[in-house]
Every structure is written in structure tokens, then in C-alpha cells.
Chain A
């Protein structure tokens, strides 16, 4: 099984400031087809998860451009360039290279 580990588990951020969340996989997420199936999801309080980023760095439809993803192999990062109040919630990375597993989640909160 591929284990996904996120850091930090909690991230207090000032409005308008950047935020960054890291995700590390226990083995390379490069698929035999050459793609890397790493996505990021946001879960606002009381809501279902929402897809933000897929295949490391592709923003899903309707996702603001302040969200960006990067990384390769086993190390990945989600960045929010300027945090807004609506960004509060829990962020999950998910790998789809070998079945599907999620990180434990990172709680983004406003200072």
C-alpha cells in the first residue's frame, strides 16, 4: 500500500498571506504510463471534499488561480498564494497511481 503523509497537520495563516502544505508518498507516484496521479482536495467545514488539483499541478474547473500544485516522484506541495477566509478547511492529498489512498489531512485555519 502507498502511504501518504502530510505536513503540517495544522496550519494557522494570516489572511492575505501565503500557505503551503506538503505531501510525501511512501513510494514513487510515477505510473507506468508516465503520468503522476497526485491530486489535492479541499474540505470546507460541513461540506464534502472538492477537487482542487489533479496530476500534480492541473487546476480543476472553477478553482481560483491562487491555488497551485507542484512536485515530482514522492514529494508534492500545495500552495495558496494569498489565503482568503473561504479557504478555511482541511486539505487532503490523494494518490491514484496504485488504487487510491489519501493523506491524513491538513487543517488550514486563520490566525
Chain B
């Protein structure tokens, strides 16, 4: 059974870079049928797609965050990662990683449990 698990610091200072990793277990990140994505949810608010990556390294990002976001993949570790630079309090959120079934449903069909990141000095 495929599982995703986010990891990384729970507290980041303003203007610094938020870094998170998603570890995929129970399946290969190198499957041709899937992209892998990051989605976030500010406290008490809705969902916002951040960006997605294919195992080859091909990426696409939310235009509103594109200038600050980098998503990368490490197939040898079955992981993909998120970096968000120049963070502010507005970036405080639960960050989820998820699998995107792009070859059929084009929907996020498996999600990690999420990790809370607070931006504060």
C-alpha cells in the first residue's frame, strides 16, 4: 500500500527558506503514471496547489508562487522535496504531499498526513 510521509522543520524564520521532503513507501516514485505534488492549507482555510514534479524532474508550479518555489526529486531515495524561499507569516500552513494520477483521473489520489509549518521569529 502506497504511503507518503512529509518531514522537515516545523518552524521557519521570516525571510528564510522552507524545506520539506516527502518520502514515498510501498511503491516507486519512478512510475510513469504519476506526478507528485505539494499542496498547502493555511490554518482554518482551504487548499492551495503549490507545484508538481515527474520522476524525470519535469516540474510545473502555481504561477502565484513560482518565483519562490523549487521542487526536486531523488529517485534513489524515493523522495521529492519542496523549497519555498523568502517566507512570511502568510506561508504558515499544513503542507501536504500527494500523488497525482495524471494518466487517468488527473486527481490527487493519495495524500500524506501533512506537516504543520509555522513562520515566526
Supposing A48-B112, A49-B96, A99-B62 touch, asked if A39 and B107 sit within 8 A by C-beta, the answer is: yes
Query: Is B46 touching A58 in the complex (CB atoms < 8 A)?
Result: no
Taking CB atoms and an 8 Å cut-off, the chain A residues in 1-60 that contact chain B are: 1, 35, 37, 39, 41, 48-51, 54-55, 58, 60
- In the bound complex, residues from chain A placing their C-beta under 8 Å from that of B37 are 100
- In the bound complex, residues from chain B placing their C-beta under 8 Å from that of A96 are 106-107
Query: What is the CB-to-nearest-CB distance from B25 to chain A, in angstroms, rounded to a whole number?
Result: 16
Please report the total number of B residues contacting A with Cβ < 8 Å.
Answer: 22
- In the bound complex, residues from chain B placing their C-beta under 8 Å from that of A102 are 46-49
Q: Which of B46, B52, B96 touches A105 (beta carbons < 8 Å)?
A: B46
- Is chain B's interface secondary structure helix, strand, loop, or mixed overall? strand
Query: Is A1 touching B63 in the complex (CB atoms < 8 A)?
Result: yes
Query: Is B105 touching A55 in the complex (CB atoms < 8 A)?
Result: yes
Minimum CB distance partner of A36 in chain B: B106
Query: Is A48 touching B113 in the complex (CB atoms < 8 A)?
Result: yes
- In the bound complex, residues from chain B placing their C-beta under 8 Å from that of A83 are none
Query: Is B108 touching A51 in the complex (CB atoms < 8 A)?
Result: yes
- In the bound complex, residues from chain B placing their C-beta under 8 Å from that of A100 are 37, 49, 52, 62
Query: Is A58 touching B105 in the complex (CB atoms < 8 A)?
Result: yes
**Docked pose: A50 CA to B98 CA in angstroms:** 10
**Docked pose: A49 CA to B113 CA in angstroms:** 9
Extra contacts, 18 of them, besides A54-B105, A99-B62 (Cβ < 8 A), are A39-B105, A39-B106, A39-B108, A48-B112, A48-B113, A49-B108, A50-B111, A51-B107, A51-B109, A54-B101, A54-B107, A55-B105, A60-B107, A92-B46, A99-B60, A99-B63, A102-B48, A103-B46
Interface residues in chain B, defined as those with a beta carbon under 8 Å from any beta carbon in chain A: 37, 39, 46-49, 52, 60, 62-63, 96, 101, 105-114
